[in-house]
Structure formats: C-alpha cells, structure tokens
Amino acid sequence: MESKNTEKLLDQKPEKMPPVGKLFVITGPSGVGKGTILERFFEDNKNIIYSISQTTRKPRPGEVHGVNYFFVSKEEFEKSIENDELLEWAKYSDNYYGTKKAFVLKALQKGADVLLEIETKGAQKIMEKFPDCITVFFTPPNLDELEKRLRGRKTEDEASIKKRMDTVKEELELSTIYKYTIENDEVENALSKLQAVYDYEKRPENEMQGEYCTENEAESEAGRE
C-alpha cells in the first residue's frame, strides 16, 4: 500500500493551499470493505491526506508500521491517552485504536483535507468535536455477506469474529446519524458513490469559510450547552 499522499501534502507550503481543510470521516462495520474502497479512492484523489491511526492490534501480514497503522504497545497507547495526544480513541475487539491529534489538526490548519477511517464510536466523538465534518457510513449488502468476508480474511479467530459481528449489529442500528450512507454492494459502485460525495462536498459553493473551530473551541462550545 502506498503512503496515501500523507507526507507529500504535509510538505506543501501552506500558502499554496486553501486556508482550512475539510475533515472526512469514513466509518462502518469492520469487514465492510472500507479499506479496499479507500485504497482506490486515494489513487484517484491525491489532494486528501489519510490520517494514520495508532493501534495495539498486531499487524496483519503485509501491514506496515507508519503506513497502515502505528502499531504500539498497550502501555504506549495508554500513555498517549494520558498525555491527551489523541483526538478520539476507542476499544474495538479488545484492541485500542486512536487518531493522532497533532497530525490531524496541523494538516487541517495547513488547509489540507483529511480523511479518517475509524469505527463508529470514534466517528461519533469526532462529530461532536467537529460538527462540520463530513461523515460517510458504509453498510454491507447483508450480514451473511459481511460474516463471509470476515472469515475469508482468515485473520480473526472464531471468538473475535463473533465479537465483531455483535458490534456490527449495534453499529448498523445507528447508521442514520451519518451524513451519507453508501452500501458496499460492489467496489466500483461504492467507489463512484464516494467520489460523488467528495466532488459534491468540494464544490466551491460548499467550501467552508473558516467554519472549523479548533478542538478547544469545540470543547468549550459543548461545555456551554
């Protein structure tokens, strides 16, 4: 997997970019095929940065530290929580996953668009902090198909598959809170729908005029309610 545009874009001069980037949050059950769709999406869209998450999960064959994830120990992860280094984090199937705060805020402030690929609890935390973020929820065509995909990956044991399937059912119940829902019936189809969302959100009339607040502002807003 290539490094999804990340370093190249962060090296750009801020003045060459629009003042405030857009935050895209891609979510949906594990095994729904988000990864495959996003790999294709990043090939076609070089101006959006992928936020590389931190996780305590062990790397799967072919996964690379610093490309797919930053693979860290439980202790390291808990330290980043303590030091408030994560924009959001969640425990998923007995592992921690989290979004690096400094990286995302810096990229947005430089005017880059950033894409997070995270599970639903994390997505909801981001929606609270960044009310203008653009959320896309991917659904499986049906649950049997999803279970087949999870088993097909041969990376999870039976207990983990069962746990993931229970989580999926809970996640699907909340699918209506996201701005867009795309059914991943077929990669090409889902990819073109994601592209349509991105193109729509990037139309000049949809560009935000500095509407993003910083995380602190979002927190004090929330405190005022």
Quick one: which of 22, 45, 40 has its CA closest to 190? 40
Q: How many CB atoms lie within 10 A of CB 80?
A: 18
The minimum distance between CB 71 and ligand 5GP, in angstroms, equals: 11
Task: Tell me the C-alpha to C-alpha distance, in Å, between residue 223 and each of 14, 71, 114, 165.
Answer: 32, 34, 26, 35
The minimum distance between CB 224 and ligand 5GP, in angstroms, equals: 26
Residue number of the CB atom closest to ligand 5GP: 122
Beta carbon nearer to ligand 5GP, 113 or 119: 119
Residue 218, class by beta-carbon neighbours within 10 Å (0-12 exposed, 13-18 middle, 19+ buried)?
middle
Question: Applying CB under 6 A, which residues contact ligand 5GP?
Answer: 30, 53, 57, 88, 90, 92, 97-99, 117-119, 122
Separation CA 225–CA 193 (nearest Å) = 36
Beta carbon nearer to ligand 5GP, 92 or 198: 92
The minimum distance between CB 98 and ligand 5GP, in angstroms, equals: 5
Beta carbon nearer to ligand 5GP, 24 or 97: 97
Separation CA 97–CA 121 (nearest Å) = 11
Beta carbon nearer to ligand 5GP, 17 or 174: 174
The bridge status of strand 54-55 relative to strand 70-71 is parallel
The minimum distance between CB 119 and ligand 5GP, in angstroms, equals: 4
Beta carbon nearer to ligand 5GP, 128 or 211: 128
Beta carbon nearer to ligand 5GP, 21 or 98: 98
Phi first, then psi: give them for residue 163, nearest 5 degrees: -60, -45
Task: List, in order, residues 6 or more apart from 41 with CB less than 8 Å away.
Answer: 191, 194, 195, 198
Q: Sheet harboring 54-55: ordered strands across?
A: 70-71, 54-55, 95-100, 86-92
The minimum distance between CB 18 and ligand 5GP, in angstroms, equals: 25
The minimum distance between CB 121 and ligand 5GP, in angstroms, equals: 6
